[in-house]
Structure 1
Amino acid sequence: MRILGIETSCDECAAAVVEDGRHILSNVVMTQIPLHERYQGVVPEIASRAHIEWILGAVRRALAEAQLDIDDIDGVAATAKPGLIGSLAVGLSFAKAFAWARGLPFKGINHMLAHLYAPQLEETIEYPFLGLLVSGGHTIICRADDFDSIAVLGTTIDDAAGEAFDKVAKYYGFGYPGGLVIDQLAERGDENAFKFPLPSLHKGEHRYDVSYSGLKTAVIHHLHSYLQPGASISPENIAASFRKTAIDTLLSRLYRAVRDTGIRTIVAGGGVAANAYLRRELAGKKDLRVFFPPLSLCGDNGAMVAGIAWHYFCRGEADGWDLAPSSRVMDFKWRQNHP
């Protein structure tokens, strides 16, 4: 079964063709970074207009690179939630029209479930596992019992991890996109130059939650207070120390979930899953089985949408033409007292 997957939840206009949930025949991602760079962040109106202009070209390229004709597609899927509502509407409307015109089954996909599925485009991963979903809009630690059965254990109580990276980068003028630029700067810096504070969420229902507002404030407004003796203030050192603290905060909650659940398989997904420090730290845990998507599948892409859609179609599940986009995560079970 060859599935056309469309992803337009934010500022990437993406289309891909995946066969049988695993074999990527094409994966086209048309980035809008140059359109938003001057604003140091995604402008929703600009993003949705660009998707309108680019979506047909992205799909045509995906079919051409897969060396397929339009009649070779067996099903269509598109991200339906969460994301920017205008951007979602473009991809979802196009996908429904494509499927309706060809008489094909259609499925709307949860963007976060797709990110968690991305590593399985390379290898099969047995359930259950702990999922680490980190991006510009979301920070989630969860337990996955199936491709669409997710229980959230912890999340951010304020900024998402990627959002904190972007805000620090914007304040210091490091460049855009902030997460990527900070990661590159940090590779040349001293991660011990600054000792930034860690959040103190320890007990009760917040046992696995993270907070980034205090760290962001410390990095932006109280830099000198945390400078270590003999260290210098440089973009590289700021980036390295901030990156280490931000990722260590996340990992401390993840390791707590490992101890509490006894689950020793971890699957990462989302844009921040490309972070070099995060990948090194988790890869160094020899007592854990850790799976990352390839760097090309960490960001938003259509392959993860098409891949997970195959499982729905195999169960005979499809959505109607009245499916509407939603800006919120709605498919997850939230907070299990006994993970």
Structure 2
Amino acid sequence: MTASAASLSDPAAARRPRICLGIETSCDETAAAVVVSDPAAQPGQGRPLGTIRAHLVLSQIDEHQGFGGVVPEIAARAHIDHLDRLVAATLDEAKLGLGDLDAIAVTSGPGLIGGVMVGLMTAKGLALGAGVPLLGINHLEAHALTARLTHGVAFPFLLLLVSGGHCLIAEVTGLGQYRRLGATIDDAVGEAFDKTARLLGLGYPGGPAVEAAARDGDPARFAFPRPMIGRPDCDFSFSGLKTAVRQEAERIRVLSRQDVADLAASFQAAVSDSVADRVGRAAEAFVASHGRGHALVVAGGVAANTALRTRLGDVATRRGLHLVAPPVRLCTDNGAMIAWAGLEHLAAGGDLSADDGLALIPRARWPLDPHAEQIVAGGRGRHRG
């Protein structure tokens, strides 16, 4: 079933399922997956457009926990140590060999450059040996397209991407067609969760730790600011909120367990209010352009936060949209999202050969919307990606 330029341009081949191996090493998860497309599935019908045949993620939480965040050199070394075995185990779980693949997809950026390089070099060797196309995938785009794999979301849709390194809202009108509506001007929301968790002694990763502590807390005890609420744009800011939590914790000095829970709950409520306001403004603009009935897709690791999902569901309903969030295991970085993005590009790319991907280079920055680079260069905010 090895792919070639001839087979990829064959109409009969286009009507059969395609098989893609995805490799993700942009941060602190070493991940690989095999995804198979479903040519009979159509976007907008609410059914998955593909099937995950194998999905393995090796977390590096233990390696980074003592530092309160990801150490790039440690992450890259861990990818080197584990990626080959993880790919082999993924293919074994899928009961496939390299010769059964139609393509290999790999994160080419944005991300920690050392980790991206490890994944890219490994993928180049595998693609060259198997004689299949290699597709370099934008990590942000892979998050954006995951809802099409899991829920068959049709274009256009409104995207909220929230993770440790990225925080943005974009209008998605087609494959490769992304228009940024808003982004963080300082910290990403996941970064704010991590730093707040470290401040409160809750450990790493911060998102799940803060959410767990907040369950026993009073979200109204501390009147934290709601950054950017009411602003006419759709941008985010979390640095001031993070500072407010630190100042309140320093005022109390010796934090009881209840103090920590209340601080976590109040912080989480402030984040949810701020994000809901920003997304609501973007949703109004999106509906004005495209009408009601489309999806609001929330992706990225912070999308696993239950309180935030609940608020975003309300925002979507009020604007005539429906909220779509991938399963929690596909919100954080994973190989399935990379494999699926590869299949989307494979279907749209026509003739591809095994040599096309050998010229790929790792990219520490790679914005979804190329125009976003011009905005940042002009002095408006800081785009994480």
Alignment check: 8 A CA contact 1:135 1:272 kept: yes
User: Does structure 1 residue 269 correspond to structure 2 residue 303?
Assistant: no
Residue 321 (structure 1) shift: 0.7
CA deviation profile, 1:4-38 (whole Å, cap 9, x unmatched): 00000001000000001611001100001011111
User: Does structure 1 residue 328 correspond to structure 2 residue 365?
Assistant: yes
* Distance of 1:143 and 1:334 partners within structure 2: 13
Alignment check: 8 A CA contact 1:119 1:294 kept: no
Residue 330 (structure 1) shift: 3.3
Residue 179 (structure 1) shift: 0.9
CA deviation profile, 1:139-197 (whole Å, cap 9, x unmatched): 00110001321111100000000000101111121111111100111122221121101
* Distance of 1:308 and 1:7 partners within structure 2: 12
Letter in 2 for 1:270: G
CA deviation profile, 1:251-280 (whole Å, cap 9, x unmatched): 101101111221552001100000111111
Letter in 2 for 1:43: V
Residue 203 (structure 1) shift: 4.9
Q: Which runs of 5+ in 2 are unaligned?
A: 1-17, 38-48, 376-385
- 2:280 match: 255
- 1:241 match: 266
Which structure 1 residue ranges, 4+ long, deviate > 4 Å from structure 2? 201-204, 223-226
* Distance of 1:22 and 1:10 partners within structure 2: 25
Letter in 2 for 1:298: C
Alignment of 1:124-273 (within 5 A): 124-200=152-228, 202-203=230-231, 207-223=233-249, 234-262=259-287, 264=292, 265-273=295-303
SS of the residue 1:9 aligns to: coil
Alignment check: 8 A CA contact 2:156 2:173 kept: yes
CA deviation profile, 1:41-69 (whole Å, cap 9, x unmatched): 11100000000010011101111111112
Instruction: Give me the identity figure in percent.
Output: 43
Alignment check: 8 A CA contact 1:201 1:209 kept: no
Kindly report the root-mean-square deviation, in angstroms, between the aligned alpha carbons of the 2 structures: 2.1
Letter in 1 for 2:275: L
* Distance of 2:308 and 2:367 partners within structure 1: 27
- 2:59 match: 31
Of 13, 26, 29 in structure 1, the residue corresponding to residue 30 of structure 2 is 13
For these two proteins, the number of residue pairs brought into alignment is 331
TM-score (normalised: structure 1): 0.92
Q: Which runs of 5+ in 1 are unaligned?
A: 227-231
- 2:9 match: none
Q: 1:40 to 1:203 in 2, by over 3 A?
A: closer
Residue 126 (structure 1) shift: 1.6
TM-score (normalised: structure 2): 0.82
